[in-house]
Amino acid sequence: MIAVKVIDLQSEEKSRTFDAECNAMRNLRHRNLVKIISSCSNLNFKSLVMEFMSNGSVDKWLYSDNYYLTFLQRLNIMIDVASALEYLHHGSPIPVVHCDLKPTNVLLDEDMVAHVSDFGIAKLMDEGQSKTHTDTLATIGYLAPEYASEGIVSIKGDVYNYGIMLMEIFTRRKPTDDIFVGDLSLKTWISGLLPNSILEVLDSNLIQQNGVQMDKILTRVIYFWF
């Protein structure tokens, strides 16, 4: 079983992401990255052949009524993503900034191991380079402030993305939800409610989980944010 990502050549922007993804993934090898097996490129067709992730995206598991993630599964997913980022930033031949880390770009294999995918807007940091600039913006709500306002790309931006995803996966609230307007964001909403009103923050599916003591879950969640 394989997965094939076909590039829409009618879109100049999407066509450019093919080159960016090939450049970023050429020398990367890690258990928590989706493996690109091969590629096909000519004037009329471009595609990437990748390993198949049978359990789909984290986003599907978070927001579909037909799927459910336990606390431990969510914790393990975020550990897997952290491991991938550590490799991209510090373990790869050239540091790579993913730039668009979010639940839709994290896929799960048959053992529920998380694999970071979609390097279409990733940036390679040249030797000695700590940051760069770009005109390509990632998904609104996940952007680090300096990326959104000035297009500054750095490892710190990925760390910010990771923090937003960490909040999302335990609250089951997207940073783009309608309630987050003006100065209210996912981050400020959580900060304003923790630690006294944690039940309003935590995903209700975790609260209703059978056989798990609520105090243990609350202790763990508080540990993550403080």
Lowest mean pLDDT among 67-71, 163-167, 207-211: 207-211
pLDDT at 138: 64
Digit-coded pLDDT (tens) for 82-121:
999 999 999 988 899 998 999 999 999 999 999 999 988 8
Higher pLDDT, 129 or 110: 110
Return the residue matching tokens 């763990």: 220
What amino acid positions are annotated as catalytic residues?
A: 100
pLDDT at 137: 63
Please give the backbone phi and psi of residue 179, each rounded to the nearest 5 degrees, phi first. -70, -20
Q: What is the DSSP letter of 30?
A: -
pLDDT at 159: 93
How high is the mean pLDDT of the chain?
85
pLDDT at 90: 93
What residues contact 67, with CB distance under 8 A and at least 6 apart?
Answer: 60, 61
pLDDT at 142: 84
Q: What is the DSSP letter of 94?
A: S
pLDDT at 93: 84
Digit-coded pLDDT (tens) for 29-69:
999 999 999 988 888 899 999 999 999 999 999 999 899 99
pLDDT at 60: 97
pLDDT at 22: 85
Structural domains of the chain sorted by starting position, each given as residue range(s) with its CATH number in brackets: 54-225 (1.10.510.10)
DSSP string, 44-78: S-EEEEEE--TT-BHHHHHH-TT----HHHHHHHH
pLDDT at 131: 64
Higher pLDDT, 42 or 210: 42
